[in-house]
Amino acid sequence: LLSLGTGTTSEFDKTHTAEETAKWGALQWMLVIQQMTEAASSYMTDYYLSTVFQDLHSQNNYLRVQENALTGTTTKADDASGANMELLAQVGENLLKKPVSKDNPETYEEALKRFAKLLSDRKKLRANKTSY
């Protein structure tokens, strides 16, 4: 299973003072709650899937690809400008060089190549079985 995320921001790393949050209206609080819920949902889905694949001794058959530190215009899903597309391409290039996790030093580039080979080998195996 190759799970492709749309990326997240590092918004939750920011801290806010009581004075700031005291000025927030209902809309601001709703947006913060929505962001937290979406982030938790994404994290929990990844956690559960990862756990299931580990329990089945198939952890090499699951890969989540997600950039967790988007900033600026790269966080806007509706910005299809040429400049933003170039920034997103750079984010993707940089992500390929990052380790999959702190527990897995394999880079995303290495993991995706491994996944592609695994899928190719399985397709060849299926093709050979159907040719009999």
- Model-level pTM greater than 0.75? no
Residue 99 is given by DSSP the state B
* Cβ count near 32 (within 10 Å): 15
Q: Are 89 and 83 in contact (CB under 8 A)?
A: no
Quote the distance between the C-alpha of residue 35 and its chain's center.
Answer: 15
Report the pLDDT value the prediction gives residue 108, as an integer from 0 to 100: 95
Report the pLDDT value the prediction gives residue 10, as an integer from 0 to 100: 60
Nearest to 66 by CA among 39, 84, 86, 48: 39
Report the pLDDT value the prediction gives residue 109, as an integer from 0 to 100: 96
Residue spans per domain, the chain: 2-98
Report the pLDDT value the prediction gives residue 14, as an integer from 0 to 100: 64
Report the pLDDT value the prediction gives residue 87, as an integer from 0 to 100: 92
Report the pLDDT value the prediction gives residue 71, as an integer from 0 to 100: 83
pLDDT in tens, the chain (132 residues): 888 877 776 655 567 788 888 898 888 888 777 777 776 777 788 888 888 998 999 888 888 898 878 888 888 878 899 999 999 999 999 999 999 988 889 999 999 999 999 999 999 999 988 766
Classify the C-alpha dihedral 98-104-110-115 as positive or negative: negative
Report the pLDDT value the prediction gives residue 120, as an integer from 0 to 100: 94
